[in-house]
């Protein structure tokens, strides 16, 4: 936050004394430091207004929402049977908003002979992620109704669908996601 205040001072010649720093920490100390720093630059790039902590929070909130919208990862590669699926979901969405997911995925590219880390799979294979997510909930289709973790089948067939799930099942998974609380708002 010290750097954020110093950056603001570079634009508007304010004095970043300890009392001001304390107030800024109290108001927006919870924000990601890099996002807050970017917000100061963005603010003075298109505004003549003296920047206040509320400006920074508003910009950071917009940036996080934008990252979530542009991420092709509505759902995490969690083990569908895991009891902590909800918390894992919230954690991943928080990481996408922080802008951390892609860089973590690049850092964690798999080496030969090892299983790719979850972040890598999540960043590289949205289809895989969707399949895991759909299979986390039971299929709502009459004639299928496969339970969690079991791939969908066409009615009357013993073979699993190529995609692994009926589209309605993914909708059901998303509906469950929407019902979750969103901690970043
Ligand atoms: Zn199904």
pLDDT digits (tens, 9 = 90+) for 109-121: 444 444 555 665 5
Main-chain dihedrals φ then ψ at residue 62, nearest 5 degrees: -65, -45
DSSP letter at 160 equals B
Q: Mean pLDDT of residues grouped by 10 in the chain (185 residues)? A: 94 91 94 93 94 95 80 52 64 68 46 53 62 84 87 83 85 76 47
Rounded to two decimals, the pTM is: 0.47
Distance 144 CA to ligand 1 centre (A): 5
Phi, psi torsion values for 88, nearest 5 degrees: -65, -40
Whole-angstrom distance, CA of residue 60 vs CA of residue 74: 20
pLDDT at site 105:
45
| Cα-to-centroid distance, 92 and ligand 1 (Å) | 26
Tell me how far the alpha carbon of residue 145 lies from the centroid of ligand 1, in angstroms: 6
Tokens for 128, please give them.
């895989």
Q: Which residues fall inside 5 Å of ion ligand 1, going by CB?
A: 139, 141, 144, 152, 166
Model pLDDT, residue 41: 95
- pLDDT for the residue numbered 130: 75
């Amino acid at each position: 936050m010290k750097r954020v205040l110093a950056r603001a001072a570079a634009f508007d010649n304010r004095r970043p004394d300890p009392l001001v720093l304390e107030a800024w920490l109290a108001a927006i100390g919870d924000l990601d430091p890099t996002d807050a720093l970017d917000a100061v630059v963005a603010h003075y790039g298109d505004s003549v207004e003296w920047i206040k902590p509320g400006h920074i929070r508003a910009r950071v909130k917009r940036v996080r929402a934008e990252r979530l919208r542009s991420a092709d990862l509505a759902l995490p590669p969690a083990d569908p049977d895991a009891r902590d699926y909800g918390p894992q979901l919230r954690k991943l969405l928080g990481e996408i908003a922080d802008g951390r997911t892609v860089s973590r995925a690049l850092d964690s590219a798999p080496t030969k002979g090892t299983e790719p880390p979850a972040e890598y799979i999540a960043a590289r294979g949205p289809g895989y992620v969707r399949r895991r997510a759909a299979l986390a909930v039971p299929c709502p289709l009459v004639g299928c109704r496969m339970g969690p973790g079991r791939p969908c089948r066409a009615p009357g067939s013993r073979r699993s669908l190529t995609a692994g799930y009926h589209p309605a099942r993914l909708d059901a998974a998303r509906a469950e996601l929407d019902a979750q609380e969103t901690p970043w708002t």
